[in-house]
Structure 1
Amino acid sequence: MNEALHLLRQDTWRIIDQSALGPHFHALQSFAMDDTLCASVGTGQSPASARAWVHHNTFVLGIQDTRLPFLQEGLRFLEKRGCQYIVRNSGGLAVALDEGVLNLSLVFTEQEKGIDINRGYDAMWILIKEMFSDFHKDIEAKEIVGSYCPGSYDLSIEGKKFAGISQRRLKRGVAVQIYLSVTGSGSERAELVKGFYDHAIRQEQTKFSYPAVKPAVMASLSELTGVGLTVQDVVLRFLTFLQQNSGKLAASSLTEEETLLYEQYYMRVVERNAKVLSTAEASL
């Protein structure tokens, strides 16, 4: 844990806040942004970076989700509920995002010393525990059976999951990403994911074990703390923690060189996303 805490203590934290860009900010732009930051931080052109981002009515599929037996029926179910959908380039399974879900990315370099995968996860877990320490709630990291996108670093309070962590590694950069269900109903988001799987599996036997989603095990931080938190409240907590654990915060946008790199990564994720979905469609 000490090594994970050390990761959070940077001389400079570069801040990119994209939490208020609104419904036209597409999730594929986010994945291209984190890839750009991985390359920039990984090669030493940028200090460690922290990004906050929100996407409206977006359903993010994992690669395994594209192999569901009745995927097109699952996607039609999402379309009827006004959701756009994409396939992400980091690990995990389906996740529901909306304006009440805050996503955070911490981007580190592996130049000096390799960052063990658990060290990255532990750093994010420590960050979240510290951000909400004033609520005196025990935030655990363990798999919550019945949650969507389950994993050993599901974050929960009293057995109810409110966050999940993933990682993306590229060009000696490591992006540790988390989604935080801040406001609204965690169980309603879970109902959406359950509905997707119900339509995309239809009780067919599958080689891969998809989660049997139980909405009752999912909740938002507002529900779990009894406090009417907003996404911007949590962004402020995020920035306050980083300020207290760094020499300085440096708010910025992409440099000219990074913008060119971003355009390349964006085209790559758009093409990859289209290819994955069309390949999945063709195989059905």
Structure 2
Amino acid sequence: MGDLLQQDQWRIIDQSVVGKHFNALYSFGMDDTLCASVGGGTAPPTARSWVHHNTVVLGIQDTKLPFLADGLHYLNSQGYEVIVRNSGGLAVVLDEGVLNITLVFPEKEKGIDINRGYDAMWQLIKELFADFPDEIEAREIVGSYCPGSYDLSIGGKKFAGISQRRLRFGVAVQIYLCVNGSGSARAEVIEQFYSISKKQADTKYEYPIINPNVMASLTELLQIDLTVQDVMLRLLNVLKRKSNHIYMGELTAEEARLFEAYYSRVTERNDKIMEELY
């Protein structure tokens, strides 16, 4: 099958600083754009890093909560912007201590099995922190927000979650890494959101019962002061070992044109959903 991380070249688009000034919908438009260009063969495999200011990203299932308007008002009162993403999963927290990484691969003739995409990201994170003795596991952490079979944890405490987006023969594997700050404090925000939005109502969908004690940041788990830029340096070093050529890049002119269309699409979709919710 080969190592997906091993590519002839990696383009790096680092938006871990500038992304703080953009709405998080920007990132979903970016990843759709990269899926189209990398999948279409007009751009090489790309790793994009991004950080956004206080934002709670909801999944479509979250929009079905019976008292969602109350939950949204709570999140706004806590200083969070709220958006709805165009992929699966449930609510997650983004802030300046959370680094998001997207790896975008071309899905060639044999395709990339969904687990293979998840495994590639898991492998990347293990290599990023290979100098620590702690085992990084991939399994569902019950009580975490946005739980899934590829929750990444150390000692039973989750610090990251992985998702995938597939579009036009491109595969975007996305991870949020809680680098620093309090993982349990972030979980408490989502715990309150679900408590307020669901109350005691019976619902068609199952929502997680959050236990803040099962979530932590890498700074807490590894017991070192870790910054987003520290992790970026580790990322660059790993991808440098995995390729013949690595370079820092931006969108090409053609990608910039694509981005306008994809960003407009995700923004209009989000605005329509939000109008219905408030």
Distance 1:249 1:26 in 2: 28
- Specify the alignment match of 2:77 in structure 1: 80
Residue 222 of structure 2 corresponds to residue 206 of structure 1:
no
Distance 2:277 2:169 in 1: 31
Distance 1:31 1:22 in 2: 12
- Specify the alignment match of 1:111 in structure 2: 108
Q: What amino acid is aligned across from residue 44 of structure 1 in structure 2?
A: G
Whether the 8 Å CA contact 1:67–1:280 is kept in 2: the answer is: no
Cα offset for 1:22? 5.3
Whether the 8 Å CA contact 1:43–1:111 is kept in 2: the answer is: no
- Specify the alignment match of 1:122 in structure 2: 119
Q: Which of the residues 181, 203, 213 maps onto 1:184?
A: 181
Residue 240 of structure 2 corresponds to residue 243 of structure 1:
yes
Residue 201 of structure 2 corresponds to residue 216 of structure 1:
no
Distance 2:146 2:181 in 1: 19
Whether the 8 Å CA contact 2:107–2:169 is kept in 1: the answer is: yes
Distance 1:13 1:26 in 2: 26
Change (3 A) 1:89 1:152: same
What residue ranges of structure 1 are gaps of 5+ in the alignment?
none
Distance 1:57 1:271 in 2: 21
- Specify the alignment match of 2:255 in structure 1: 258
Residue 12 of structure 2 corresponds to residue 19 of structure 1:
no
Distance 1:156 1:121 in 2: 14
Distance 1:237 1:112 in 2: 32
Whether the 8 Å CA contact 1:105–1:175 is kept in 2: the answer is: yes
Whether the 8 Å CA contact 2:19–2:50 is kept in 1: the answer is: no
Distance 1:20 1:32 in 2: 18
Quote the sequence identity (%). Answer: 65
Deviations, residues 32-79 of structure 1 (Å, cap 9, x unaligned): 000000000000000100000001101000000000000000000001
Superposition TM-score, scaled by structure 1 size: 0.96
Q: What amino acid is aligned across from residue 50 of structure 1 in structure 2?
A: A
Runs of 4+ in 1 over 4 A off after TM superposition: none
- Specify the alignment match of 2:45 in structure 1: 48
Give aligned pairs, total: 278
Secondary structure in 2 aligned to 1:7?
coil
Distance 1:66 1:278 in 2: 12
- Specify the alignment match of 1:171 in structure 2: 168
CA RMSD of aligned residues (A): 0.9
What residue ranges of structure 2 are gaps of 5+ in the alignment?
none
Q: Which of the residues 258, 263, 266 maps onto 1:269?
A: 266
Deviations, residues 128-152 of structure 1 (Å, cap 9, x unaligned): 0111010111000000000000000
Residue 139 of structure 2 corresponds to residue 142 of structure 1:
yes
What does 1:24-39 correspond to in 2, within 5 Å? 24-39=21-36
Distance 2:141 2:33 in 1: 32
